Amino acid sequence: MQATGRAARAARRQGSHARGDRASPDRPALRQLDANTLHTRQLEGATAPCRCQAPTQAACNGCEEAEQQRHQQAEEQAQLYAMQQQQRWQELTETARPLQQPQQQAVGQPRALTTGPSERVCARRAHKGAFCFALVPGQASGQALEVELDCTALAFGGQGVCRQDSGFVIFCNAAFPGEKLIACITAIKRGHAVATKLRTLQAHDHAVSAPCPHFGPCGGCTLQNLEYAAQLTAKREWVVSALQRIGGFSQAESLVTSVIPCRDIFRYRNNMRFSFGPKGGSHFGGPDPDTAAEIPPPDLALGLHPRGSGTTVLPVSTCHLQHTDADKILQIMNSWLQTLASEPQAAAAPASSSSQGTLEPSPPDAQGAASHSKSAAAPQPSSSAAAQTSNERQPRSGFRAQRGRRGGQRGGRGKHGARGSLPQNSPQGPPQQFLQELVMRQGLPEGGKPTFMVDIITSYHAPDRLQSVLRTIQEQVPTVKTLVNTVAATPRSRNVKTYPISGPHFLRQTLCGLDFRVSPRSFFQTNTRQTEMLYSTVALMAGLKPAIDIKQLPTGVQQAVQQDCKAEGNPSGSERPVLWDIFCGVGTIGLSLASQCSKVIGIDGAGGGITDAGLNAHRNSIHNAAFFQHDLAAPNISTKLESLPQPDIVITDPARAGMTPAFLAYLRNCGAARIVYVSCDPSSQARDIRQLTAKDNGGAQYQLMPGIVPCDMFPHTAHIESVALLTKL
Ligand SMILES: C[S@@+](CC[C@H](N)C(=O)[O-])C[C@H]1O[C@@H](n2cnc3c(N)ncnc32)[C@H](O)[C@@H]1O
């Protein structure tokens, strides 16, 4: 079993080889591949991007093999868990008693545990990378275990940590330090159990009332009822703890500064993604998502996923993290949805979907008068090559509102979801099969007056069906300057096209004194103002001048980045360093520092972002920056980058997964004097730092400098950004 597990892990780490290519993954044919050539694979009824390097689906066989090994390993693990469960169960039942009446609480009704062929269900869920709900052999149907817990800490991800006298840990949702509560055990895992809060016996130490009416059931904010100062304390602790546990830095407590707080803790998000889906409050006590297809189709709702469910949608009328104008748009969309529900199906579905959008352009303004007048008549798809969505690195929460694989009627590929083909002019179906997501992005052009881009994501192109609601939005919310319609066969589809409907086909953002354009599916940091704090910290760690007055940073952070990091002066010794902006998005970090560098090289896997980055250099008259599209997770990445000028400073800002071992090995050899590591996941950051600082790991060894700076980009959510400086020994 161990050998199988190792093989599967190795296959996953390295990516698989194309047929007949096992011995030579660096063959020239493969070197030409880039992110556009990535294909998808089919796993458990859902399409997922395949990370292997085969040029086509047909050429790929390794990933399939690795998946089979992963399945086998998961099954073996599930059997092991089943044995361990019995033992854990006894430990838990000492303090537990059967739940008499399942109770409906704000946090959700406990899921009834059922007797059944638990091994089969366990194995099935384990395949998907998730664990089973505790289906314990011998437990009577409808019974769950109620336990009294004391919460002592908040774990990364926002779960309350409740330690039993024996030391056994139960993670409980919606539990906060200092709180005494009653909870229901929902899963027992290898070293811990998972519980759902039923009711509070004694409030937690820093309780405040949450202003949002959807707080509780909504899966978006999880910390809104925790005082902001306590949120910051917990977030700093997550960074410290990851460095200790995963990075192996026992003195981490003294390495991490206080958190840079966010000035505006509400209405700070410039990007919100709401889902259309079957209406649901809480997953617990509701239908099993795996068997949802067997129950009658629920009502269609627009909102965020409730806590604990990735398949149903909690209807929301407001979100306190977005601008009030975005609330208005949300309400217009919700009213429209109600009218659709009350209309007979035929009325909602015009006979032909082939006509083009005929929406009246919004009144011309300084920003987009020209494109307003022509785009509605002849919508042209934007590039379908971009591999990333605008939300690529957003927190895994209600905000990243993606439907699950089998979410009732609209999950899976469905009839329009044939691999590789994007449905056009499909026969009209019910709204459930048409509407996928509503994305609202807020721009901040020079002058500081917000503008909005509204993107309705549908499973096929039928602009007539959106015309009435888009017209209402334009009439009632004048700050909406851009309307687009993205067509994606499935929510996770990579084969997508964005059709402009009205207004300029991009958003404008002012950041660090520069003017950026951001296309509908390009990444941009979600908290624009706080991004200036983040980038200024990055600049100081790189030994460069920040865009803001350093006095805006907390005193502890100022001291750390100026003194402890000895960030004054240029580390490379050369007058103007060569700076690499790795995972550069639309080029924001590199371009904001370009005036202090001899060259800026930006690299990202998303073609759309790279195109924007080039245009951004041009619109800001920056001539010493160049941007390249490369998949930095490719095993042969070093050969693709060898022709670029060597960096003095590397700024790396990967997505949540962090960097691959192959790319980390490349970084150790790239010769940079400094690596500034920006991350939105302390765990993957700590893991990668461990790789870069390890002795005898090949290439140069880096040392982690004191003054790791957490920066709160996402108040009220269980997410934290952190910036670390590594210098070459
Ligand atoms: C967190 S964003 C950072 C963007 C940018 N630094 C910023 O501050 O706006 C992460 C970026 O990594 C890119 N990315 C994710 N996986 C990648 C891969 N395998 N290869 C190259 N780029 C990747 C995404 O396209 C995205 O732009």
* AA identity, residue 469: V
Residue 268 CB less than 6 A away from ligand 1: no
Please report how many Cα atoms fall inside a 13 Å half-sphere around the Cα of residue 136, on the Cβ side.
25
Cα 659–126–150 angle (5° rounding)? 85
Question: According to the annotation, is 455 in a ligand binding site?
Answer: no
Name 149's Cβ contacts closer than 8 Å, sequence gap at least 6: 160, 162, 170, 172, 175, 180, 181, 182, 183, 195
Count other Cβ atoms within 10 Å, centred on residue 374. Answer: 11
The two beta strands, 649-652 and 674-679, are parallel
ipTM attached to this prediction: 0.99
The two beta strands, 599-604 and 625-629, are parallel
Question: According to the annotation, is 205 in a ligand binding site?
Answer: no
Structure tokens at 171: 């993670």
> Which ligand 1 atom minimizes the distance to the CA of 634?
19
Rounded Cα distance between 30 and 24, Å, is 10
Backbone dihedral angles phi then psi of residue 225, each to the nearest 5 degrees = -95, 15
CATH number of 95-205: 2.40.50.140
Rounded Cα distance between 361 and 359, Å, is 6
Please report how many Cα atoms fall inside a 13 Å half-sphere around the Cα of residue 650, on the Cβ side.
27
What is residue 388's predicted lDDT score, i.e. its pLDDT? 30
* AA identity, residue 46: A
Residue closest by Cα to atom 15 of ligand 1: 655
Walking along the chain (729 residues) 10 residues at a time, the average pLDDT comes out as 42 36 30 36 47 52 57 57 48 42 31 34 30 36 70 92 87 93 85 88 90 90 93 96 96 95 95 91 38 49 86 92 97 91 52 35 31 30 32 38 30 33 55 92 87 95 93 96 92 85 94 96 95 96 90 85 56 78 98 97 97 98 97 94 94 98 95 96 98 90 95 96 96
Rounded Cα distance between 72 and 259, Å, is 43
Residue 605 CB less than 6 A away from ligand 1: yes
Alpha carbon of 627 to ligand 1 centroid (Å): 13
Query: DSSP label at 113?
Result: B
Alpha carbon of 227 to ligand 1 centroid (Å): 32
> Which ligand 1 atom minimizes the distance to the CA of 524?
9
Structure tokens at 366: 């300084």
Cα 522–524–530 angle (5° rounding)? 175
Backbone dihedral angles phi then psi of residue 62, each to the nearest 5 degrees = -65, -40
CA 691 to chain centre: 24
SS3 118: helix
Helices and strands (H, E) in the chain, number of each type:
17, 25
Is the separation of the CB atoms in 272 and 321 below 8 Å?
Answer: yes
Rounded Cα distance between 373 and 502, Å, is 8
Cα–Cα nearest to 478, from 512, 442, 444, 452: 452
Structure tokens at 260: 């840079």
Alpha carbon of 186 to ligand 1 centroid (Å): 35
Query: Would you say how long the chain is, in residues?
Result: 729
Please confirm, yes or no, whether 680 is among the known catalytic residues: yes
> Which ligand 1 atom minimizes the distance to the CA of 35?
20
Alpha carbon of 372 to ligand 1 centroid (Å): 31
Domain spans, the chain? 2-71, 95-205, 271-518, 528-705+722-728
Question: According to the annotation, is 525 in a ligand binding site?
Answer: yes
Rounded Cα distance between 52 and 31, Å, is 13
Q: Where are the beta strands (DSSP E) in 316-446?
A: 435-443
Cα-based distances in Å from 518 to 269, 274, 401, 521: 15, 20, 21, 8
The residue to mutate among 522, 583, 714, having the most atoms of ligand 1 within 8 angstroms of its beta carbon, is: 583
Q: Which DSSP helix (H) or strand (E) runs through 497?
A: strand 496-502
What is residue 189's predicted lDDT score, i.e. its pLDDT? 80
Cα–Cα nearest to 716, from 323, 389, 267, 327: 267
Residue closest by Cα to atom 25 of ligand 1: 606
Residue closest by Cα to atom 7 of ligand 1: 585
Count other Cβ atoms within 10 Å, centred on residue 154. Answer: 25
Please report how many Cα atoms fall inside a 13 Å half-sphere around the Cα of residue 421, on the Cβ side.
9
Say yes or no: domain 528-705+722-728 is CATH 3.10.129.10.
no
Q: Which DSSP helix (H) or strand (E) runs through 357?
A: none
Count other Cβ atoms within 10 Å, centred on residue 671. Answer: 15
Question: According to the annotation, is 653 in a ligand binding site?
Answer: yes
For tokens 């490349």, name the residue: 666
Residue 521 CB less than 6 A away from ligand 1: no
Name 20's Cβ contacts closer than 8 Å, sequence gap at least 6: none
Query: DSSP label at 706?
Result: S
CA 389 to chain centre: 10
Is the separation of the CB atoms in 430 and 408 below 8 Å?
Answer: no
